Amino acid sequence: MTMRVAVTVNGTDYTRDVEPRLLLIHFLRDELGLTGSHWGCDTSNCGSCVVWLDARPVKACTVLAAMADGRIVRTVEGLERDGQLDPVQQGFVECHGLQCGFCTPGMMMTARWLLDRNPDPDEAEIREAISGQICRCTGYENIVRSVRWAAEHSGETI
């Protein structure tokens, strides 16, 4: 049995017939081909699947695509604007915020949300914001630096 789900993802409308049990992360990756969001631990611990659902970050392995029906989703593919990287993305480039890159999309979506609410977060605030996400490469140091870089370069043409 399927149901019709209509979702606006990164400004584009998509309609698909899916099973109600389909998780949002698989909807994005397998139905829409948006593989930027990563499917990690499947237990809402690692945060590599974080996307925005109606302007709030969510672990997309722990919501159903059905719950997103009629709503707006933003994924890592929606961070850049007109070919310009978001300062968060540029920060990860400048400060080596990623090594293997698996956690990166989720980290960047949470960082963008943090900076929208708190444009000048200190290290403790950044660490708190990403405390529900796991990076096994960097020890978080460079991720924190990357977010700070983005805070210091927001509003600039990169």
Partner 1 sequence: MQVPSHVEYERATSVDHALVLLSRPDARVLAGGHSLIPMMKLRLAQPEMLVDINGLTELSYIRLDGGQLRIGALARHADLLDSPLAGQHFPIFHDAERVVADPIVRLWGTVGGSLCQADPSEDLSAAFAATHATAVIHGADGDREVPVREFHLGPYETVVGRGELLAEVRVPVQPGTGSAYEKVARRVGDWSVAAAGAVLRLDSKNGIAQAGIGLTAVGAEHFVAAEAEEYLRGRPPDEESFTEAGAIAAVHCHPVADQRGPEDYKRHLVAELTTRALRRAAARATGPAAAGAKRRKAA
| Chain contacts with partner 1 (rule: CB under 8 A) | 1, 3, 19-23, 26, 42-45, 47, 50, 56-59, 62-64, 66-67, 69, 110, 128-129, 131-133
Among the listed residues 67, 117, 52, the one whose alpha carbon sits nearest the alpha carbon of residue 147: 117
Closer of 59 and 148 to partner 1 (Cβ): 59
CB 1, min distance to partner 1, A:
7
Give CA–CA dist 142/28, Å, rounded.
28
Give CA–CA dist 74/105, Å, rounded.
11
CB 118, min distance to partner 1, A:
12
Closer of 62 and 99 to partner 1 (Cβ): 62
Among the listed residues 80, 71, 70, 92, the one whose alpha carbon sits nearest the alpha carbon of residue 138: 92
Closer of 23 and 32 to partner 1 (Cβ): 23
Tell me phi and psi for residue 47, to 5 degrees.
80, 10
Closer of 53 and 151 to partner 1 (Cβ): 53
CB 147, min distance to partner 1, A:
14
Say which residue the tokens 């081909």 belong to.
33
CB 53, min distance to partner 1, A:
9
Give CA–CA dist 52/76, Å, rounded.
9
